[in-house]
A and B are shown apart, each in its own frame.
Chain A
């Protein structure tokens, strides 16, 4: 029922005689009350007070290498950083690697192979390698006349930005650790809570012997250090005269690493202009998961099962030589999401056996990134079948003329495929734990046609579904109805020539080539930009170019909190709220029916990474790794997965 304002409550021609202070107090109390109402409306109860022992005041810990702890409290982090970064940014690669302020995940993987393997195929590891991301931020920077700066890429390669690398350009030219995106040091070299900083975090610099930060501190590591007979000598400082395995100087406990707020420092993306691009963390804070069940992000996204609280592994977290460390809680580092790789499988997942730098020999990896791009994996180079049947005059690039090298590459690729396959399973796992779908229901026929509906449910308690970059997440229903002669009588959620569903962003629809899908069910939020006049309209990119021809971003000139957004752009959320559901109702028009019933219904809940119209919109910037837009688009379309599926038979009498 619609809400109605009660006219009788309005006082006319009479001065409201509330004392001023009372009015202010009432206003504040009323606002707080309303907020509380919405806060509890989801689960119907107020949050209980946390009974767990709350931590003492958060302690700021300086990043002092253990070797220098006895000296005065010098901020070595900043000193090392400035010196070493200067070297890495402007001097030769070789020196950079020797004195690396931000060690590669490969270094960590020596003792933490499980963590590395999971991370290596995770969205975090793909963050900077993604050609779509790079072209997207290039396009935004061009359209905003350079004022976007490092806003996007700061989250995707904090190491690269700390090293003052260029924002654009190819990943082939980046520092190896910068290419790793959200690599080990991005989380484990943070010693201060950064709040909702949109990824602008300070990384503590230093080599692999530097202090790292973890959720539990030094206890277990001390056990390893105390048992050299079992684990060998661990070098906690850089000393060429000592033989042993490199290890951390210390592991400092950083309480916030285990909280949702730590994830929130990147997963609430608030542009300085006030645009809320992503607010997964804010959604979480209003959710039953936080308020009722007292969960945190890690419970669902770093546990045994992706996407729901399922407990953690209890096992060794490190393997030093052949000895495993004492078992304890171990978190999964898959952290699967809807994204998937579209790039050459030699480049991703991260594989130390695969990649070497230009100035390294093959003991460091089989081939450089540039060489891998030349390797035609689709033609099965290196496989027995290909090698035995290839024409004699087959031309290979110089780097791959050696058949033994091709076979090595093929072996590595098979490892990559296996890992990608596992990740795909994890991706489907997290999606299926996020989305539910009912059977086909409500079937009936009338003079307007056949009617049916399905219910799509957000199964999570922690955030909307989809969440994060929901303005570009195609989660939708693909529906086909056909008769007994297999003649299709209805489609929704079908894709246009590019691979987009037929909404207003489809270029085929926009250009009037095919009709819009008027019954499309999609959970993709929409970027809305303000028109100079005439309200607002949806756009693929949230840049309000109708307002003026020069979009030039600076900090907001007014508080952005009262509106929760800037004046020029916003996001119209279409997501399912936690535990929310929405009916998708369909009608097969009577004019489409053939009289050849029964009619069969197939409904799939599909999940894609991004819509292809985004690829087309940013294609003017070019794509990395020599890819063209069509290749990227096809890979994205092929990567769509069926999250849920159902079907039904519609028996009806037709006259």
Chain B
């Protein structure tokens, strides 16, 4: 490996992407100070409003509704105009009599246009090509809507918009619709969670803060039935089973204020530190079809016992100036440092960089910072000292430490994330790694529609050579590798309706290694349903998510029905990795619907084919989710 060369290449690629976005003139223009806001000399013909002739449309150039007279010192309405005198203390003086509502005649005409009368400009070639391509991707949408309506017997949300009046605000009188009661938590004492009633007196801490301790207990349960039949080749991982599986999550929160709380959580039916099966967590399951797995020896099981009492979540979260209000009584210092400490879930770069559901860490965050072109900057420093999962699905590393600085900033056109993290791992096999990432999220405004897009570029740099081990799902690879990951997510909502068509693609160059990953899945789960584990039992992703020298894509159609209470997703995807027999293609369908106030029913299936194997791999699962 030419580690040094590729490291430089990776750094440059990330830097160039960041530079290209940051250096765009539009951001530079936003960085000029207020002092020069009006300083640019006007080019000839700049005249004042008074010189402009009457506006078209029959009206005259409007004056502001009420000439502003507050700029001159002392010119303001004084309270004297409300002096309580005369026949009623409501009479007031000094203000002229008014016989009309001030908004009755705004003084200007609003330009309502249903049809735009101006000619449309011809799009540039790049936009033409792009929009043709997106129109091509949208083509299956309409037939899929019809299929969905047929399958569910529910009305597509878009069909309500086929009414020619659908764009208009309704003029029909309508009574107030009653709203449902708040579903209570298991325990909420003494204050209800977002419930009516008095707020009790608080307890004053020695710091001066007022806390109102309240206990809330809540959670969710997922029960699923899964069937999986993977056709695998020699040396490849796979699943063959039919199972009942359960996942219960219970949380207890001791809430003190709007910003301070302690939360603990358990998942008593699935255990992260169970036997290192293929999905990392051991879910309490019963196999009605005996479990077998391919790849490096077979395992046969009739059930799994994941009962445990481990704390999955146990952290305190708060804000410095709220805990110590006395240090800034006039609120004029920037002491609003937020922090969390303890065992917690963590995600950065949509899971591509850090995707942990159980890590011991301390974080310090500054939010709502601005300046230098940033409209809203968040900076988070992280130090994690325990349970860093680097080698999924093996048990988390208790010795590796992670340092990171993660930022997110809003600009005029996009939101950028710039992140860097370092893992210091005493394990001489795994070794240290530095990972940098940049991403940009924006809406691209086309001529016919607007396209949601999100682009990521990540690179990992082993600082002391690549670490070896089993990377993921039994596939060989490096625990600490050098490589780059480029990830793009593009989606569009077709006219009329709220459906979503997405097209996601990733390219992995060499062996990209994220800082930390959930034991159940690699960092590519955001590509599509086909690249994500179910998070329930051994039902892993239909397509492999190994992050070494591979390329993958997914095209999906999410269709909403029954005023968004039901949805169907159709997805096709493919992946190609290193080697001749490493091409996979798959399709999936997933249906979900809300039931009553706090239930979801889900059914999902897939079918995939892998080059070099005979037959199709299939999977089918259904799940009931309950929230309380």
Contacts and interface: CB of A to CB of B under 8 A. Distances in A.
Contact of B98 (A23, A421, A650): A421
28 contacts: A31-B379, A31-B405, A39-B369, A85-B198, A114-B82, A138-B179, A162-B198, A310-B76, A315-B79, A383-B99, A418-B95, A420-B98, A508-B114, A514-B116, A516-B445, A528-B441, A531-B491, A531-B500, A533-B527, A535-B490, A545-B564, A555-B216, A555-B255, A558-B346, A562-B365, A621-B179, A648-B52, A649-B45
Nearest to A636: B103
Contacts of A511: 161, 166-167, 495-496
A468 interface: no
A7 B325 contact: no
A345 B202 CA distance: 40
Nearest to A453: B40
Interface stretch (A10-18, A90-98, A179-187, A391-399): A10-18
B259 A41 contact: no
A282 B110 CA distance: 36
A66 interface: no
A73 interface: no
Nearest to A449: B121
Nearest to A170: B176
Contacts of B376: 573
B583 interface: no
B544 to A, nearest CB: 18
Contacts of A647: 47-49, 51-52, 61
| A-B CB proximity, top 4 nearest | A2-B19, A534-B502, A149-B194, A534-B491
Contacts of A220: none
B489 A533 contact: yes
B614 interface: no
Contacts of B331: 259-261, 264, 281, 284-285, 290, 296
B101 to A, nearest CB: 6
Nearest to A280: B368
Contact of A432 (B53, B70, B172): B70
Contact of B169 (A10, A436, A612): A612
Contact of A621 (B176, B372, B450): B176
Nearest to B341: A559
Given A10-B461, A313-B78, A564-B367, A497 B112 contact: yes
A490 interface: yes
B21 to A, nearest CB: 7
Contact of B3 (A12, A195, A622): A12
Interface in B1-45: 3-4, 7-8, 11-12, 14-16, 18-23, 29-30, 32-34, 37-38, 40-43, 45
A412 to B, nearest CB: 8
B22 to A, nearest CB: 5
A533 B495 contact: no
Given A508-B114, A559-B344, A560-B317, A202 B200 contact: yes
Contacts of A515: 116, 120, 447
A273 B330 CA distance: 28
B500 A532 contact: yes
Contact of B465 (A13, A440, A554, A572): A13
Contacts of A535: 441, 452-454, 489-491, 502
Contacts of A424: 65-66, 102-103
Contacts of B370: 42, 283, 286, 464, 577-578, 580
A78 B200 contact: yes
A232 interface: no
Given A41-B371, A422-B81, A511-B496, A567 B258 contact: no
Interface string A569-584: 0001111011111110
Please tell me the size bucket of the interface on A.
35 or more
A651 B45 CA distance: 7
Given A197-B257, A255-B329, A496-B113, A35 B95 contact: no
B90 interface: yes
Interface stretch (A241-249, A356-364, A638-646): A638-646
B319 to A, nearest CB: 7
Given A138-B176, A457-B37, 8 more contacts: A58-B329, A113-B89, A281-B331, A546-B558, A549-B592, A561-B339, A562-B365, A615-B169
Contacts of B344: 558-559
Interface stretch (B269-277, B406-414, B467-475): B406-414
A494 B415 CA distance: 27
Nearest to B414: A572
A622 B175 CA distance: 5
A629 B600 contact: no
Nearest to B345: A558
Contacts of A444: 43
Contact of A7 (B8, B178, B209, B317): B8
A170 B177 CA distance: 10
A305 B62 CA distance: 25
B543 interface: no
User: Which has the most chain B C-beta neighbours within 10 Å: A50, A57, A279, A531?
Assistant: A531
B104 interface: yes
Interface string B230-261: 00000000000000000001010101011101
Nearest to A567: B347
Given A31-B381, A195-B209, A495-B113, A534 B11 contact: no
Interface string B488-506: 0111010110101111100
A264 B110 CA distance: 36
Interface in B543-601: 554, 556, 558, 560, 564-567, 569, 571, 592-594, 597-600
B283 interface: no
Interface residues of B, number: 239
B88 interface: yes
Given A261-B331, A642-B65, A649-B45, A531 B90 contact: no
A494 to B, nearest CB: 4
Given A533-B527, A534-B504, A550-B627, A592 B179 contact: no
Contacts of B461: 10, 12
A57 B326 contact: yes
A653 interface: no
Interface stretch (B139-147, B180-188, B299-307): B180-188
B458 to A, nearest CB: 13
A291 B600 contact: no
Contact of A507 (B38, B166, B176, B249): B166
A515 B447 CA distance: 7
B4 A294 contact: no
Given A296-B330, A628-B172, A629-B170, A555 B253 contact: yes
Contact of A305 (B70, B192, B337): B70
B528 interface: yes
B376 to A, nearest CB: 4
Contacts of A405: none
A167 B179 contact: yes
A490 to B, nearest CB: 7
Nearest to B466: A13
Contacts of A502: 116
Contacts of B297: none
Nearest to A461: B34
Contacts of B330: 50, 52, 54, 259-260, 294, 296
Contacts of B198: 78, 81-82, 85, 162, 202-203, 205
A497 B180 contact: no
Given A515-B447, A647-B48, A649-B51, A286 B334 contact: yes
Nearest to A60: B204
B401 interface: yes
Contacts of A419: 92
A491 B73 CA distance: 37
Contacts of B68: 428-429, 432
User: Which has the most chain A C-beta neighbours within 10 Å: B57, B79, B249, B500?
Assistant: B79
A561 B340 contact: yes
Contacts of A194: 202, 210, 257
Interface string A479-515: 0101000111111001111110010100110111111
